Amino acid sequence: MLIFILKVFLFISLVTVKATANETIEIGAIIDINSRIGKEQKTAIAIAVENYNHDRRNNKQLITVHFRNTSKDTIQDFFSAEELVEQNHVKMIVTGLQTWEETALIADTGKRHQVPIISSGTASYTPELVQLKWPFLVQMTSSSLDQINCTASIVSSYQWRKVIVIYEDDMYSGSSMLAVLTETLRSHGAEIEHQLILPQLSSLSDPREVVRREVVKLLRKQSRVFIVLRSSVSTASHFFKEAKEIGLMGRDSAWILADSLADLLDSVDTTFVSSIQGALGIKNHYAEETKSFQDFKGQFQQIFRSEYPMEDHSEPGIHALKAYDSITAFAKAVNNLGTKSSNDSKLLKNKILSSNFIGLSGHVSFVNGALSHPPTFRIVNVDGNRYKGLGFWSSKFGFSEILEAENGERIGVNGSRTMKFSEVKWPGELKRVPKGWVIPTDSKPLIIGVPGRTSFEKFVKVETLAESNEKKYSGFCIELFKEVLKILEQNYTLPYEFEPFNGSYPDLVQQVINGTYDAIVGDITILAERTKYVEFTQPFAESGLTMVVPVKFDGSKKAWMFLKPFTGNMWIATGGVLVYTMLVVWFMEHQSNPEFRGLWKDQFGTAMWFTFSSLFFAHRENIKSNYTKTVVIVWLFLVFVLTSSYTASLTSMLTVPRLEPSVKDIGWIKRTNASVGCDGDSFVKDYLRQVLELHNIKSITNQDDYPKELESGNIKAAFLEIPYQKVFLREHCNQYVIAGPNYRFGGLAFVFQKGSPLARDVSEAILTLTQDGTLNYLEERWFGLSRNCDNVDPADETESLTLGSFWGLYLVSGATSTVCLLFYVYHLFRKLRQMNGAFRDNIVHPSTDQSFWTKTAGIIKNDKPAVSLRRVVSASAAGLASDERGSSPKWHLVSPSDAAQIFDGSSQHPQLAIEMGNLRSE
């Protein structure tokens, strides 16, 4: 009995283990098995399931896949999903549908039945919106924004300004992706000129005719930069074939293929590749050197060749890798949840979304239901039967030629925001970067509008020749345009035809907006409102609005005109240096120069007279000291420079006519409602009314009418743009002046259609002409000064001389006076000490009741420095007995120089010398 019980228990255990081991999880896969992508996806899913089922670590549960083929009818795919959920009880559906319309319907099924849907299709919405609308949808892709940014960066790198976008019709994603691309291109300075929507071939009875009719429309567009945003291989094959036949794949065209086509370049046939020679492609990059990829590649090629022997290529692409990673994410989630929890669809979906592993396609982790890691794209160039890699792009590092491993990721080296890959084979085997727009030809030249009537004919003039009835175009703008053509001809020829337009300037600009003219050559002002609709070149002349009024001559000389040559600071500085020099000269001369002695008022008068007379080099006083002579020499040089400058400035101020405007400002015009004149064909009239709020405006059609209207008083002022104002004042110099402020605008420039690449080339040519002096030469030739003009702008007054021009001279003069004064004082004190020592050693002794500083002050105050001579007497001089000499002292005040003469026995003081001799003998 015991043995029987053990056998029964063992049997039940084995049955239970076997049932557990054989428990399966059903999953579904809806793919296009007839397409190359579907074949790769089916093979990859089968390999992933087989690898999982044969892994001993996964022996508790097995995965079974139910494949469903897509149908031409989207609704049928929806029913296939419903069948998989309701009848096959699948726990997850993998969809390889390429259109978002089909993916959205499958996602609705997953939402209703709460079954996770893993999709490899790219949503045009943001991941947040997708997650809110379809919470059970898991996107095995990242946002399409990365690819759009990559495309826009390529366009910006080659400075293309207009593009044509081509995509296959998809009601759910096409329009939204196009809106994002439009904004991104605009931020890079480009715009979409035209969008071509290709219908799905499954809905067409004659696809070739329909595609050809759509392709022909592109011939009428200017841009030759084509972006194939999204398309199937079958639709793209028809399109490229027709485009090549009509010449759109030729020289100066550029093609950019998004990943929907570029990812299939490894598997498409040679006919398809030959039709897109020179195109740039954006492929999803994945690491091919890893061991896991090499193992998968071997399995894939073996199975793919056996099941699809008709396929030329058997290498797996990004779609196969993503399909394999989808099964891997599901399998990891099932293993983590266990047998019981795997039936909970919400837990299963959350576990899939929490995946974090390195798959064959890259890092697999999710945020808001989409891959969190931004993709790395490989930029390729179609060349020959295959393609060659140019470099890489990622939102993290931009463009880079090589990648290096960093923290488990591939990071670009020396990333750049612009594409700098030089080895590009362009369509038509063009060696340079394509222009990206239709270059005019002799059969289809550039149609250029020219202003037929202008107020100032020096800018543009259109004449009709009587003998041939042909139009003759001349003027500054016409000649400048011809110089621009000479520069453009170094790269390409530009056939053109001028057509005169006799309407207003705003109407002429409108002709470019509506496509009647390709460009305008003339004096067109750059305005903010116009830049929204047309493309302006680099301005070749400044622009602004000024008020020109007649002048009234003021011949009277103002009473204080003589002060005008110098500024106030200049006069103060000159007076300060003059007074300082006067004091220094007086101090150094009044000690030894009799002409500077006497009473205080006499000394001050003499010093003042000497200094002021030196301004006119009329001083007659003799100078004794060498220090004083040095000071006076520097002072006279300063005086020479100042008087010469003063005379020249005052002469200029007195001889230039004093021109005063008859109208001071625009405020007087408004208060009196005075009449003003302007060019009625330009924007100026509207500007005066709307901005400056002037209402009494008279239109003037010719520049010769302005003087007549102003002299007759019909208008009090004329409002002219700066280029016209310069011409007018040069022809009517000393008669009119500018009054009031200058209202600035963008300048004068040529006009092209919005986004025209020609505008950039012409702008570069204008800058070249500006730098090499050609533009200045043309301005002097056409707007040179009239022979009757003495001054270009007689209203300008001679400016007063400022201290900044002479401070160096003032510094030298002041420094020289100060240094000489210090040397003189030092020399004076030195002599004083020598004299005091000599008298103390002999017979001359300082008075005991006078200090050193008291005697120094006496030297400065008196005509001659005083020293005290004690008991210097002489019998013959005093008339006293010899025994009384010692008791009858007598004091004499002498200067240091006199004292020196006493010691030397000078004849200037004979009596004192005799007394000194007697003292020596005693």
Tell me the two tokens of residue 198. Answer: 């290709």
**Is the distance from CB of 163 to CB of 130 less than 8 angstroms?**
no
**What is the b/e burial string over 265-288, where b = at least 16 CB atoms within 10 angstroms of the residue's CB?**
bbbbeeebbebbbbbbbbbbbbee
**Is the distance from CB of 190 to CB of 227 less than 8 angstroms?**
no
Helix crossing, 345-353 with 318-341: angle to 10°? 130
Tell me the two tokens of residue 625. Answer: 């000291």
**Is the distance from CB of 93 to CB of 113 less than 8 angstroms?**
no
Tell me the two tokens of residue 344. Answer: 């909970």
**Distance between CA atoms of 344 and 114, rounded to whole angstroms?**
10
C-beta atoms surrounding 203 within 10 Å: 10
**Distance between CA atoms of 117 and 93, rounded to whole angstroms?**
5
Residue 471, pLDDT score: 86
Tell me the two tokens of residue 419. Answer: 């594409």
Q: Which residues contact 657 (CB under 8 A, 6 or more apart)?
A: 553, 555, 734, 794
Cα dihedral across residues 607, 608, 614, 619: positive or negative: negative
Helix crossing, 896-903 with 910-921: angle to 10°? 50
**Is the distance from CB of 138 to CB of 352 less than 8 angstroms?**
yes
**CA geometry: angle at 668 spanning 667 and 674, to 5°?**
115
**Distance between CA atoms of 856 and 825, rounded to whole angstroms?**
11
**Is the distance from CB of 570 to CB of 610 less than 8 angstroms?**
no
User: How far, in Å, are 141, 561, 576, 647 from residue 569 at the CA level?
Assistant: 76, 16, 10, 18
Residue ranges with strand state E in 642-723: 659-661, 676-678, 697-699, 717-721
10 Å CB burial of residue 597 (0-12, 13-18, 19+) is middle
Residues in the chain: 922
Look at residues 678, 685, 687, 677 and name the one whose alpha carbon lies nearest to residue 529.
687
Q: Using the structure block, give the residue that is written with the tokens 């707007």.
A: 783
**Is the distance from CB of 370 to CB of 364 less than 8 angstroms?**
no
Look at residues 648, 664, 646, 667 and name the one whose alpha carbon lies nearest to residue 656.
648
Residue 402, pLDDT score: 82
Look at residues 377, 337, 374 and name the one whose alpha carbon lies nearest to residue 353.
337
**What is the b/e burial string over 379-403, where b = at least 16 CB atoms within 10 angstroms of the residue's CB?**
bbbbbeeebeebbbbbbebbbbbeb
Tell me the two tokens of residue 692. Answer: 């400056």
Tell me the two tokens of residue 200. Answer: 């799905």
C-alpha dihedral, 353 to 358 to 363 to 366, nearest 10°: 10
10 Å CB burial of residue 337 (0-12, 13-18, 19+) is middle
**Is the distance from CB of 196 to CB of 214 less than 8 angstroms?**
yes
Residue 618, pLDDT score: 52
Residue type, 150: C
**Distance between CA atoms of 718 and 710, rounded to whole angstroms?**
8
Which strand (E) or helix (H) includes residue 824?
A: helix 807-841
Does pTM surpass 0.85? Answer: no
Q: What would you report as the CA-atom Rg of the chain, rounded to the nearest whole angstrom?
A: 50
C-beta atoms surrounding 510 within 10 Å: 16
Ranges under pLDDT 70 in the chain? 1-22, 58-60, 72, 98, 123-125, 170-175, 202-203, 339-342, 405-414, 552-562, 590-604, 606-607, 610-624, 653-662, 664, 734, 785-799, 838-922
**Is the distance from CB of 272 to CB of 240 less than 8 angstroms?**
yes
Q: What is the widest separation between alpha-carbon atoms in the chain?
A: 181
- State the DSSP code for 172: T
At residue 750, what are phi and psi to the nearest 5 degrees? Answer: -85, 160
CA 172 remoteness from chain centre:
39
Strand partners for 496: 446
**Distance between CA atoms of 206 and 243, rounded to whole angstroms?**
17
Which strand (E) or helix (H) includes residue 661?
A: strand 659-661
Residue 591, pLDDT score: 64
